[in-house]
Every structure is written in C-alpha cells, then in structure tokens.
Structure 1
Amino acid sequence: MRKKIVTMMMTAALTVAVAGCGSKGAATGSSDDHLARIKAAGKITIATEGVWAPFTYHDESTDELIGFDVEVAAAIAEKLGVEADFQEVAFDGGLTGVSTGTFDMMANGVDVTEERGKTYDFTDPYAYDHAVVVTLASNNNITSFADLNGLTTANSAGSTYEAMGIEYGATVKNVDTLGETMTLVQNGTVDATINANTSAQDYFNTTGTTDLKVAAVDKEVTKYAIPLSKGEDNDTLRAAINDAIKELREEGKLTEISNKYFGADITAE
C-alpha cells in the first residue's frame, strides 16, 4: 500500500511539473531549463505587436497575422520542433512579459542596445536596419536628429525610437501603431517620428503618400535580435535559436522572407 501511495505522489508531482513547463523553473520546482520546458509544452510563446508593418501586422483581407518577424519567428519555432504561439501585445508589454516569464521570447524588430542588455540576453542578430527621422515633405527645418531638440515626436512606448527622441531633447507622444505615428506627423500634431527606415519606406510605398519624407538617417546600424530573460535558464534556448538563425540564413530562408516583405535583403550586415 505504501508503495502505491508513493507512486501516486510521484505521478502527481510529475503532472504538476509538466503542466508548468511554460514558466520559469523556480516557479515550478522543475530542474529542467527553459528550452526543455518549451519542448515539453510543444510550443513557444512569442510576444509581438501585430500593428507594425511590414514586421508584424494583419492581412487586410484575411486578418491573418503576418510579417517579416512573424515568419522568421515561426521558422525558428519549426527548427526547435515546437509550435509558434503568437500573443499580440503592446511593445513595452511584450518586453516586460519576456522579463517576467509571461512570454518565452519576443519577435518585433527589437534592436540590441546596451541598456536592454542589462535586462535581456539577446540572440545573434537576424536583420539590420537604420533609424530615420520622418517629417512632412514641406519641412525644411529638420535635417538631423539634433534638430528634434524642443520639438515633439510620436513613437511606441518602450521603443528605442522613443528613447532616441528623449535623448535628442524631444517630447515624445506615445502611440500604438505605425500608422498613427505617420498620421500625427501628417496632420501636424507632432513634428516628426523616429522609426525604422524599412518601415518608413514600406509605409510610403503602400500608402503612396507624398506628404512625408525621410529627413535624417542614423549612421549607426540597428541590429534586430530576439530578447530572452537574463540568466543561465535560457543558455540552451539562446544557443538553439542561434543555431536556427544560422541554418535559416545558410538555407536562404531569411533572405527569402526579407525579399517578400521588403523587396530587399536586410538579413546581411
């Protein structure tokens, strides 16, 4: 009888551990690391905005979540042998969720910065870009990032572009979508927006607007990578994602996805 009770207790404990495999080991009491728990769950939870074309957005006709980051993240999940479980959330909420363990990773054009490196461990970069200042085409007063001092910009809360605006002395108005930022510039509510050059060019091309222009380009290269919560619990997950990125690059898959959404390859520095 005692043997039967012990066996039942062990079975119950194992069930609890597996049920909590998507969260941190400290919370579940499991000795498995994050990658092992993801594999046990059969899925990886991915935070993304779903409102920042062409990186992560919805198809107008089907409402399907699509985009460069969406396809790259799905391809990485496939390499890991698990399902990609996308969760749409505001940019700052996505980053917070990664650090607290709500999400396993984030795919949303998250660029690597020294400040973020204090909180997150980043994978190898999978794409490269430049930050730009977008203004009205008729605006001849803003020709550099320094010219934003004392002016107003619009950007997502928690984004690098918000931080850049503040750094250059601008007052930043927080908005949720790329379209909103561009609209605020167009109607004169703000003076400019700082954003990814790829996103700005895509907006110009898809909307056909001639009211806006790129007024300045940051000389520093933006490196897009996947942020993971800091700590050794993610060492094997980060290594596995790095292997997946390397394989996707060697197979030409990253280039294929990039050409699909940008008409150019932004996956090579």
Structure 2
Amino acid sequence: MKKNLSLVLVTAMFATVLAGCGSSGSGVSTANDHLARIQTAGKITIATEGCWAPFTYHDETTDELVGFDVEIAAAIAKKLGVEADFQEVAFDGGLTGVTTGAFDMMANGVDVTDERSNTYDFTEPYAYDHAVVVTLATNEDIKSFDDLNGRTTANSAGSTYEAMGKEHGATVSNVDTLGETMTLVQNGTVEATINANTSAQDYFNTTGTTDLKVAAVDPEVTKYAIPLAKGADNDTLRKAINEAIEELRKEGKLAEISQKYFGADITAE
C-alpha cells in the first residue's frame, strides 16, 4: 500500500509539473502561442524608426516619440490589454527583428507586398496611401517612375521605395530619415526620392519648402499593415490585432488619429 501510494503521489506531482510547463498561469499554454506570451509579459515590443514624420518621429518640444503609427500601435496594445514597448531601430533592422523574434511586431508604415508576404504574415490594412516621386521643382526630366531609369534616388534601406527605385533602373543611395532623402534631392546629390505621398506633403507643409515637388504619383494603392513572423505561433496574435483594428475603425479612433496627423482620413480605402 505504501509503495502504491508513493507511486500515485509521484505520478500526480509529475503531471502537475507537466501541466505547468509552458503555461501562463491561467491554464493557457504559451509554448506555441505568441499572444499568450505577450499577455503574460504584460507588454508588446514594437519596432519603429522614430524618424519618419508624421508616421513615427519625436516631438520637437518634448522629444516624445509620437506619430500616426505610434498612436495606432499604442491603441492596439491597449485593446490587447498590454503595454506598448516601442523600440527605435532602422527600417530594415525592424523587419529583421520581427523575423528573429527580437520584436513582437513593427509599426512603421510597412506596406504589404507580394515579396514581403513570403516572409511575413500581415494583419489587415489600417491605412492607405500612394508612393510618389519627389524632385527639385525645376526638374523637367523626371515626370514618371519610368524616367528614373539611369538616375539617382535616395531611400531607407529595405524599404519598398528603395525596391521601386531599383526596379525602375535608378541607382539608390541609402539614408536613415525622410529629411535626409529630401536634403539630398535639394542639394543635388541625388535627382529624386520615392516616398509616401502623405510623408512628402507633410514635409512640404512643415518645412515650407518650395524647392521640391511631386513629379509622379503611383496609381496603385499602398496598403499599410502590421508584419508578424510567419507561422501558427502568431495565428491568435494576428486575429487579436485584426479585431483591435476593426474595433478602432468602428469607434472612429483610426479616423481621429489620421485627421490629427494628416488632416485627412487615410484609414478608409
């Protein structure tokens, strides 16, 4: 009887240990569930550049990290019931960090492309835009994306805009910030830059420059969404973020944040 009782106790203890492994403490396994791990940690780590106004940048007065994407990501985190932990990093470093697990997600005007969809599982889009070519106001040689062939542009490394420049035959110089791309065009170091129309217009408005112009607009709509590492581990997280985006849209919060930073609603296609 003693031997049998001991065996029963050991078996029960072993089963308890197994049940506790990979558990969030609430009976939900975190081993293969990214969302459960985030909720257990109480925070979601978000990669962002912090230097691409008005999407993600620092307030000139307070130096606080602000922007359209920053507020959208913070609102999503609140819906998930966790703290938004922003980590500033170069654009390509943010994408790589999502793949390796260094960051839970990225909020930085990341547009959905077929190539990126091979590497990332995207959420539903939360905003829409168009890519544009910006040149000197006096430039009469570049009037379309095709006119970039054999010319020079400047863009963030790993961005869609860098890829678009190369696809159209341009030699692309990599820089870290939107301001740098515009400065290189202004001082004649490069002939053009490809960027989001919203960012270009914001730059024109905030700087008051008349030296630059939008020379061409891509008719194809750019869809901004949140990239997550591929795999079933992120299924529940992607679903939860999609639900959060939909709730924020219905509540009018997406439109409100968009109006604040763009003076227009770019969250409706």
Q: TM-score normalized by structure 2? A: 0.91
AA in 2 matched with 1:122: F
When structure 1 is superposed on structure 2, of 29-38 and 259-268 the one drifting more is 29-38
Deviation of 1:78 (Å): 0.2
Deviation of 1:17 (Å): 7.0
* Structure 2 Cα separation of the partners of residues 41 and 58 of structure 1: 27
Partner in structure 1 of residue 198 of structure 2: 198
* Counterpart contact for 2:22–2:30, Cα < 8 Å: no
Partner in structure 2 of residue 164 of structure 1: 164
Give matches, 1:76-115, under 5 Å.
76-115=76-115
Partner in structure 1 of residue 61 of structure 2: 61
Matched, 1:150 2:150: yes
* Residues 132-151 of structure 1: per-residue CA shift (max 9 Å, x gap): 00000000110000000000
* Structure 2 Cα separation of the partners of residues 103 and 145 of structure 1: 34
* Structure 1 Cα separation of the partners of residues 232 and 76 of structure 2: 20
Partner in structure 1 of residue 180 of structure 2: 180
Deviation of 1:16 (Å): 8.5
Deviation of 1:187 (Å): 0.1
Partner in structure 2 of residue 217 of structure 1: 217
For structure 2, the 5+ residue unaligned runs are 1-5
Q: TM-score normalized by structure 1? A: 0.91
Deviation of 1:121 (Å): 0.3
* Counterpart contact for 2:30–2:36, Cα < 8 Å: no
Deviation of 1:90 (Å): 0.2
SS in 1 for 2:114: coil
* Structure 1 Cα separation of the partners of residues 99 and 210 of structure 2: 40
* Structure 2 Cα separation of the partners of residues 123 and 30 of structure 1: 21
Partner in structure 2 of residue 234 of structure 1: 234
Matched residue count? 260
Deviation of 1:217 (Å): 0.1
* Structure 2 Cα separation of the partners of residues 243 and 187 of structure 1: 46
SS in 2 for 1:191: coil
* Structure 1 Cα separation of the partners of residues 96 and 124 of structure 2: 20
For structure 1, the 5+ residue unaligned runs are 19-28
* Structure 2 Cα separation of the partners of residues 206 and 83 of structure 1: 31
* Structure 2 Cα separation of the partners of residues 218 and 74 of structure 1: 30
- CA change 1:225–1:246 in 2 (3 A) is same
SS in 1 for 2:204: helix
Deviation of 1:15 (Å): 8.6
* Residues 52-77 of structure 1: per-residue CA shift (max 9 Å, x gap): 00000000010000000000000000
Please provide the CA RMSD for this pair.
2.3
* Structure 2 Cα separation of the partners of residues 97 and 17 of structure 1: 25
AA in 1 matched with 2:172: V
* Structure 1 Cα separation of the partners of residues 183 and 90 of structure 2: 19
Deviation of 1:31 (Å): 2.8
